Amino acid sequence: MRNILSSFSLACLSALAANTAAGAPQADPPMTDNPFFTESPLPFHLPPFDRIRDSDYVPAFERGMSDQLKEVDAITANPGKPTFDNTIVALERSGRLLNRVNVVFSNLKEANTDDEIERIDGLMAPRLSAHNDAIYLNAALFARVKAVYNQRSTLGLDPESLRLVERYYRDFVRAGALLAESDKTRLKALNAELASLESACSQNILNEKNASSVVVRDRAELAGLSDAEIAGLEAQAKAENKPGAYVIALENTTGQPPLASLGNRALRQRIMEASLSRGSHGGAFDNQATIERIAKVRAEQAALLGYESHAAYRVEDQMAQTVGEVDKLLAQLVSPAVAKARREAADMQAVIDQEHGAFKLAAWDWDYYSEKVRKARYAFDEAQLKPYFELNSVLENGVFFAAHRLYGLTFKERHDLPVYVPDVRVFEVYDADGQPLALLLEDFYARPSKQGGAWMNEYVSQSGLFGDKPVVANHHNIPKPPTGEPTLLTYDEVVTLFHEFGHGLHGMFSHVEYPTFAGTSVPRDFVEYPSQVNEMWAAWPEVVKHYARHYKTGEPMPEALLAKMLSTRKFNEGFETTEYLKATLLDQAWHTLKPDQIPTNVAAFEEATFRRYGADFAPVPPRYRSTYFAHVFYIGYSAGYYAYIWSDVLVADSIEWFQKNGGLTRANGDHFRATVLSHGDSVEPKVLFREFSGGDPEIGPLLRHRGLDEPGN
């Protein structure tokens, strides 16, 4: 019974009946040809996207919940004494139909939503939460789980099976199984409310992103952008029925790509202010009250379960284990990061002064003037790179090339399988022995129906128990060029391709028995580790030379330009680290509050947080402000956004390991696969890291990797 990480979890039929009786919207009648009712006959059980209709979801959810509750009833009604097979494995086998519909619905809600999907999400979220409670707060079921747990050391179980017993017991306890009945009732109400709030938060963020596009009427204001980029903005305007204009659609991060090129300072300011104000300026999609209530409900849940805060509850289940350990890491990084950012700002202010700008560096100036500093210092302009970063070449000659060298993988594009939008590409992945390993879906382009950012998910998780091979998907938000034009990437987008593919490898290489442990089902502060390790190959000279070829001529990137690019890898690292840390501090600040401490002024709370940690440096805004911080208010990273920097400590150690051991070799790849990528969560992450690297991580390599150990920090 794998936990599903989405904007909701599971729900129960009894709650559905109660809600319907109380006047909730009626579900659509079951469809006899519902594609979710049977396992997909497609290769790797790829969902039959061409057959799935919005009207299929509610009937499939209802039958899936009903089926799972019957399976749970069969477990509790079993007259035999509780055993590993008749209780733990039986739970692990339950809910197959519900899982099928949930993974498709949750994934498409993020990747290709519509009004009906948003309506269904709002309808189902509290019901699915109630279903989750109906299982985890079932006293008879917990009694059987506890009985197996109490005798676990005498059952002769293999290590993975023993860990599964311990995982189920822990999950039941953390879900409230030990609470008194009155407290369980209160917890159920909070869980249902939180599910609805998170659904509303998600919809607000997407709708506000789409509504906040910046409209430009005068082409002259776009000076600094290429003709192809301007054509893309013109196409976006036509798509939004604004002919004669140019539309700059916002990404979900605070920073926006055009800011690095636009010479018009007033337009830069307008873009940045539109980005920063999302969800906090009133109107239909204002998110302030929603996130305040989310924080309060989470704090109340934690208090009910006996925890100091939501952060304490969440971190207990991670590698860090305590809030103190997280704070210790952040304290070691904030000061050197901000100090480096201030030095970077001084360099940019010097350029502004030399140009007689007569203004102080602001957040909307950073990207533009950092490029000027980069160009002056390294005789290097970021725009010089894009002709060498054509999407297909980066994917096939970079991402796939590195995977072949490290792991022996090969890739064959499939044009015969259904997808949910035409732009999605499907690849069959073959292992080094030539045997099929997985399906990989690549969804590259931004669209209004898609959430911002980049992410990986699984449509089918690997499992020895069910004989399933993985179907994984990588999602990006790359602006789609006009028809006939190549897709040219920024270097950040190149790195993101490698990053998300690293998550994909974690899913594809999973080799566990139980789906609970499969692939990326690991602690949040470990899940980013394999993906960030894979980023290193984006800048590995042998790999860069293979994929960085001019899209017109096919000529490789000149050695001098490659050398300049590689020499700038620590450039602007003060900004990059500080903007990330400021978002992390917001996450920690919101989720260490008690129920009676929730603020009512979001902007004031944010500023107070930055001052308290010494991060109140206005030219570097947080990567996400609270009102559009999707990671922590509905995606599942609450009190866990620190995971990226925690993982980066492991990554920096690992990069040095690869460098010392010969780099891009099959031996190194096979070692990383065998010790880390194949185990999912079937082994403690700390143990996996020691098996790979031979020791425990230290922060020194991270400081060196980011240039934060330089004099003056």
DSSP per-residue letters across 201-231? HHHHHHHHHHHTPEEE--GGGGBTB-HHHHH
> How many CA atoms does the CB half-sphere of 441 hold within 13 Å?
28
Please, are residues 8 and 636 in contact by the beta-carbon 8 Å criterion?
no
| Beta strands across the sheet bearing 471-478 | 410-414, 425-430, 436-445, 471-478, 455-460
Please, are residues 7 and 124 in contact by the beta-carbon 8 Å criterion?
no
Residue of 292, 344, 500, 513 marked catalytic: 500
CB atoms closer than 10 angstroms to residue 27: 17
Q: Helices then strands (H, E): number in the chain?
A: 27, 7
Angle between helices 57-77 and 13-21 (to 10 degrees): 130
Strand-pairing partners, residue 414, are 426
The burial of 623, by beta-carbon neighbours within 10 Å (0-12 exposed, 13-18 middle, 19 or more buried), is given as buried
Report the Cα 275 to chain-centroid distance in Å. 20
> How many CA atoms does the CB half-sphere of 207 hold within 13 Å?
15
Is position 300 annotated as part of the catalytic site? no
Strand-pairing partners, residue 438, are 429
The burial of 79, by beta-carbon neighbours within 10 Å (0-12 exposed, 13-18 middle, 19 or more buried), is given as exposed
Distance CA 87, CA 75 (A): 6
DSSP per-residue letters across 660-691? HTTSS-HHHHHHHIIIIIT-TTSS-HHHHHHH
Distance CA 65, CA 134 (A): 10
> How many CA atoms does the CB half-sphere of 154 hold within 13 Å?
6
Nearest of 504, 658, 653, 491 to residue 564 by alpha carbon: 491
Q: In degrees rounded to 5, what are phi and psi of residue 337?
A: -65, -45
Q: Which residues contact 346 (CB under 8 A, 6 or more apart)?
A: none
Q: Does an H or E element contain 646, and which?
A: helix 643-660
Q: Does an H or E element contain 475, and which?
A: strand 471-478
Catalytic residues: 500
